[in-house]
Amino acid sequence: MRHFVITKNMTPFYIHDPKGRKQEFLRRRFSGFIITVKGKIRFTYPGGELIAQAGQPVFLPYGLHYINECLEDAESYVFNFQTMQTYEPMQLSPVSDTFAAETYERICENALAPSLHSDLAMMEAMYALTQKLLTTCDEPEATHPVIEAAIRYMRKHYHRADLSVCEIARRCNISEVYLRRLFAHELNMSPFRKLSELRMQRAKLLIAEKRPLKEIAVSVGYADVYQFSRAFKRHFGYPPSQSPER
Q: Three-state SS for 137?
A: coil
Residue 140 has pLDDT above 50, yes or no: no
The pLDDT tens digits of the residues spanning 32-65 come to: 999 999 899 999 998 788 889 887 899 999 999 9
Residue 139 has pLDDT above 70, yes or no: no
CA–CA gap between residue 8 and residue 196 (Å, rounded): 37
Mean pLDDT of 56-82: 93
Alpha carbons within 13 angstroms on the beta-carbon side of residue 119 total 6
Find out whether 150 and 189 touch, Cβ atoms under 8 Å: no
Residue 131 has pLDDT above 90, yes or no: no
Q: What angle do CA 162, 157, 140 make, to 5 degrees?
A: 130
Residue 223 has pLDDT above 60, yes or no: yes
Residue 114: per-residue pLDDT:
79
6-133 adopts what CATH topology? Jelly Rolls (2.60.120)
Q: Three-state SS for 80?
A: strand
Domain boundaries, the chain: 6-133, 145-242
Four-way CATH pick for 145-242: 3.40.50.1820, 3.40.50.170, 1.10.10.60, 2.40.110.10: 1.10.10.60
Residue 196 has pLDDT above 90, yes or no: yes
Task: Name the pLDDT band for 245 (thresholds 50, 70, 90).
Answer: low
The pLDDT tens digits of the residues spanning 10-32 come to: 889 999 989 999 999 999 999 99
Instruction: Give Dmax over CA atoms of the chain in angstroms.
Output: 58
Find out whether 10 and 81 touch, Cβ atoms under 8 Å: yes
State the chain's mean pLDDT as an integer: 87
Mean pLDDT of 172-176: 93
CA–CA gap between residue 209 and residue 12 (Å, rounded): 23
Q: Which pTM does this prediction carry? A: 0.58
Task: Name the pLDDT band for 136 (thresholds 50, 70, 90).
Answer: low
Tell me the backbone φ, ψ of residue 160, rounded to 5 degrees.
-85, 125
Higher pLDDT among residues 139 and 23, named by residue? 23
